[in-house]
Amino acid sequence: MDVESTYDDVAAEYDTWVGAGSVLADPTFEELIGSIDGQAVCSVACGQGREARYLATEGAAVTGVDLSENLLTLARRHEEADPLGISYLQGDAHTLEGLATESFDGVVCYMALMDIPSLDSALQSIARILRPGGWFVFSITHPCFKTPATGDLIDHTNKSVRRTVGRYFSEGYWDGPGLHRDALPIGAYHRTLSTYVDALTRAGLVIDQMREPPLDHQPVWREVPQLLYVRCHRGTETLSTH
């Protein structure tokens, strides 16, 4: 699937959907990132720059990388309208070519790892650009509750909401439309939780914290988590090349 052309085709709609020129507001993500004043931070799969702008307002020197040139055009336009010192680079998350090895104190990847075809390649590249001990924070749709076969049921006896889950072990690309369908007509690569953990380990990224916050926008997400947040650090052992 040509991810670049798909996002390019919907760049304007996506920008409107997430809030043109907006700054990310996500308390869980902010908590895991912590204080970053004076740090060099890379936003991988930065899109139109919402996460990069948050990082910059917190005092970081930010580089945003994305595959879609049209999304980057919008990100640069927002930077020109409200300069925060962010640099944007067109590039592939699989390689992060053009970014020097061990050049960042931290990396973020907000709601994008599940869109990237090769998880191992992306995580290896993220570990490469991190300084030893550097941190990595990411969020994804929860792999246990956003699977290729899911639905919500209401218990007729007490009106409680339940999330039904199927095909958890069916890893691979699937087209999972949601409320964002018009602005983001792209599915995701479903992977089990153990696949994510094992890939992090192979990349030399050690999990420090995880968060599974309840959300209020739909009743079911008050019962089970819609999103998974993880903070890691780059370990000192030699990174795997496999």
Tokens of 76: 């640069």
The phi and psi torsions of 18 (rounded to 5 degrees) equal -85, -10
For residue 237, the model assigns a pLDDT of 64
Closest by CA position to 7, among listed 130, 112, 147, 149: 112
Cα(128)–Cα(123) distance, integer angstroms? 8
Give the CA diameter of the chain: 59
Mean pLDDT of 135-161: 92
Would you tell me which CATH number, out of the four given (1.20.1530.20, 3.40.50.150, 3.30.70.100, 3.90.1150.10), belongs to the domain 3-234? Answer: 3.40.50.150
Query: Measured in Å, how far apart are the chain's first and last C-alpha atoms?
Result: 23
Lowest mean pLDDT among 6-20, 57-71, 139-153: 6-20
What distance in Å separates the CA atoms of residue 162 and residue 146, rounded to the nearest whole number? 13
CA angle 129, 127, 186 (to 5 degrees): 95
Reported confidence tier of residue 10, pLDDT bands at 50, 70, 90: confident
Average pLDDT over residues 35-60: 98
The pLDDT, as a whole number, for residue 2 is: 45
pLDDT digits (tens, 9 = 90+) for 98-130: 999 999 999 999 999 999 999 999 999 999 999
pTM as predicted: 0.93
Domain boundaries of the chain, sorted by first residue: 3-234
Q: Report the interhelical angle of 119-129 vs 193-202 (nearest 10°).
A: 40
Average pLDDT (68-91) is: 97
Look at residue 241 in the predicted model and tell me its pLDDT: 47
CA–CA distance, 60 with 169 (Å, rounded to integer): 39
Q: What is the pLDDT of residue 15?
A: 92
| DSSP class per residue in 14-25 | HHHHH-TT----
Q: Which residues 6+ apart lie within 8 Å of 128 measured at CB?
A: 96, 101, 102, 239
